[in-house]
Structure 1
Amino acid sequence: MRRVAIEFAYDGSDFFGYQRQNSVRTVQGELEKALERVFKIPIQTYAAGRTDTGVHATGQVAAFDCPNDKLSESDIRNALNANLPKDIYVKKVWFVSDNFNPRYEAKCRIYHYFILNSKMNDIFLRKYTWWFPYELDISKMRQGAKYLIGTHDFTALSKKGEEDTRTERTITNIRIVRLRKNLILVRVEGISYLRGMVRSIVANLVKVGIGSWEPEKVLEVLESKDRSKSAGLAPAHGLFLYKVLF
């Protein structure tokens, strides 16, 4: 039995998040159903990260033990894609060490958040961008983002729910780029994140971008460790787990 890693994409629109749940459709649930159809036995998977309801991925990574040693990487990829639903697609398969777990071995997780900054909505992008019709000053957003680089207690920029015992996280880079006239990318790079943290970062930077806050306000919110001071959460459907680096 060999351990296998897969890099895969999914459209999160019709999933109740990544993590397996008994009563609703999840990414992990569909992945493990496909594995059971291929190998005829239940197979447990281990993922690099858990995404919330409506969040997408272009580079999620999961690992599992393959019970058939005769299959090549290409065989496994083809078998999985033949059995997965249309909103999940395996891009790459490779063999890893027996104790490889992407959750613990990831060195960087990169998230992309897309903002449709246009007076008019584009209904064909409605599931993949946050339509924000008010003008955004990305130079000010970049100034605000500088306060989030480094290791900080990100309690104020997280989602209330299952509380993490350790609330310090390290953000190594935030880039804000206007990809075209009406499309803005917020790229966040870090080792790990609190629940809702990237969406909260985006919401707070947008508050700066529209001029409601000065960039320094981001630091004030961060240091408060108080979620009520935050601008809340950007919509889930604009967020993508872009890449996991090992």
Structure 2
Amino acid sequence: MKRFAAVVAYDGTDFFGFQVQPDRRTVQGSLEEALAKIHKEEVRTDAAGRTDTGVHGFGQVIAFNSGLERLSPETMKDALNANLPDDIYVRKVYEVPREFSPRFHAKKRIYHYYILNAPEPDLFKKRYTWWFPYEIDIELIRKGASFLLGEHDFAAFRTGRDDRTTIRTITNIRVLRTRKSIVLIRVEGISFLRRMVRNIVGTLVRVGSGNLHPEAVKTILESKDRSMLPSSAPAQGLVLYKVLFDEFET
């Protein structure tokens, strides 16, 4: 029995999130359907993260066991891509130790959020950016983001039911204009609560547009009160960009 890890990219627009749901089209469900065709039996997958409906992946990582001893990682990659829909693509496949878990062995998760900061919408970027037509001061966003760095109780940035501890560590937040009209907010940490990154981005954009003072981010964080958040950023601008492991390079 072999165990493989696969680095997966997907356009999340037409999926009801990553995790398998009955009678819903999901990324995990599509991957397991492809694996079932290859193996002629049910194959379960583990993932590094569970993205919400409409959220995209570039560096999602899954792992699964395979009884097809003859298949190399490259052959498994080709077999998966031959059986997957057009909005999912397996970028890399590695053979990993039997105990490997993409969830528990992840050293860092990196999310990218893309904002189209322009007076007019761009229909060709609509699926992958948040159109925000008002002026954004990225220096103000950086000041607001500085209060989120390190280990904190992020209860105020959690959405919905999540029984896990709300103590989380953000190691870095970078904000830059990648080109004239695109603002990128890159959030790095070990793990995140449900919709935490989108809630962070929504708050920071309000800071950047002048609707919140940068110090308000600290106030919201310390309140531990979800009702203090001004808004959440929409799903389509968010990408699970990369997950880092000791076992291999994604």
Determine if the alignment matches structure 1 residue 110 to structure 2 residue 110: yes
Does the 8 A contact of 1:3 with 1:64 survive in 2?
yes
> Once the two structures are aligned, what percentage of the paired residues are identical?
58
Determine if the alignment matches structure 1 residue 49 to structure 2 residue 38: no
What residue in structure 2 maps to residue 189 of structure 1?
188
Query: TM (normalized to structure 2)?
Result: 0.97
What residue in structure 2 maps to residue 202 of structure 1?
201
Distance 2:231 2:195 in 1: 9
Shift of 1:179: 0.7
* C-alpha RMSD of matched pairs (Å): 0.6
Amino acid at match of 2:83: N
Shift of 1:195: 0.3
Distance 1:82 1:91 in 2: 13
Aligned residues: 245
Distance 1:192 1:238 in 2: 19
Shift of 1:96: 0.4
Determine if the alignment matches structure 1 residue 88 to structure 2 residue 88: yes
Distance 1:138 1:197 in 2: 20
**Secondary structure at 2:16's aligned position in 1?**
coil
Distance 1:239 1:130 in 2: 9
Structure 2: unaligned runs, 5 residues or longer: 246-250
Query: TM (normalized to structure 1)?
Result: 0.99
Shift of 1:19: 0.3
Shift of 1:59: 0.4
Distance 1:81 1:165 in 2: 34
Determine if the alignment matches structure 1 residue 79 to structure 2 residue 79: yes
Shift of 1:165: 3.2
**Secondary structure at 2:124's aligned position in 1?**
helix
Distance 1:244 1:67 in 2: 26
Does the 8 A contact of 1:164 with 1:194 survive in 2?
no
**Secondary structure at 1:220's aligned position in 2?**
helix
What residue in structure 2 maps to residue 3 of structure 1?
3
Distance 1:104 1:205 in 2: 29
**Secondary structure at 1:125's aligned position in 2?**
coil
What residue in structure 2 maps to residue 239 of structure 1?
238
Does the 8 A contact of 1:3 with 1:98 survive in 2?
yes
* CA deviations over 1:105-126 (Å, ceiling 9, x no partner): 0000000000000001001100
